[in-house]
Amino acid sequence: MPRQPLPEDQVGTRDRLIGAMLEALGTRGFHGVGISELLSRAHAPKGVLYHHFPGGKAELAVAAIDTVVGHITAKLENLFAQQGDPVKALAAWMKDAQGTLLGSGYDRGCPLATIALESTAEDTAIREAVARGFAAIRDTLKRALVASGLDALRAARLASLIVSAYEGGLIQARVAGSGRPLQDTTAMLLDTLEGLLPKSRS
């Protein structure tokens, strides 16, 4: 059955709920925040939560995961288009991650890594959403690397390495309270990418 449209004064509530969940996922994780806190952060009554997300907190988390993946892939696409050089695009992406981490006092990591690490076998929909998200990010990177001259197989493998390094570097830097792990990871990643790409690229 189609859902009834909400009154005009409730437009945007869904986005606020997703934003509240994203904030929680990046800092405290899915199991570290309760529904009441999410509703308070989003300035939303309980009935509205279940209007938008009949599956409750888990369905809201899936929507938040899909949202952040959309932001990440769009950012990557824009960086590769603007920079014209995959090494510069990747450097900009990693620098932005470092800035976000530093700006949060090493409190905010990638929501995907946070929820992936804390999810259990019972969190089927959440794990599927995270897996789908990582796959979308890898595919975005792969397409950009193929466009830069790498063959499809090597581009796919390098995309997996980039995502693993990005997430691992963020996790190490966050728990260490230092940007050094991510900086070292970035330096080696850029060297590796530079060595693999065709020398004749523009």
What pLDDT digit, counting tens, does each position of 102-126 carry?
A: 998 998 888 898 889 888 888 999 9
What digits encode the pLDDT tens for the residues 89-102? Answer: 999 999 999 999 99
pLDDT confidence tier of residue 3, bands split at 50, 70 and 90: very low
Identity at 199, one-letter amino acid code? K
Mean pLDDT (the chain, rounded) = 89
Could you list the beta-strand ranges (E) of 39-181.
Answer: none
Percent of the chain at pLDDT exceeding 90? 67
Does some domain include residue 167?
Answer: yes
What CATH number corresponds to the domain at position 40?
1.10.357.10
User: Residue 190 burial (CB < 10 Å; 0-12/13-18/19+)?
Assistant: middle
pLDDT at 5: 43
> Does residue 1 lie in a domain region?
no
Q: Is residue 2 part of a domain?
A: no
Between 76 and 199, residue with greater pLDDT: 76
Domain count across the chain = 1
Work out the pLDDT band at 201, boundaries 50, 70, 90: low
CB distance 69 to 136 below 8 Å: yes
Domain membership of residue 48 as a residue range: 8-196
Q: Is position 108 within any domain? A: yes
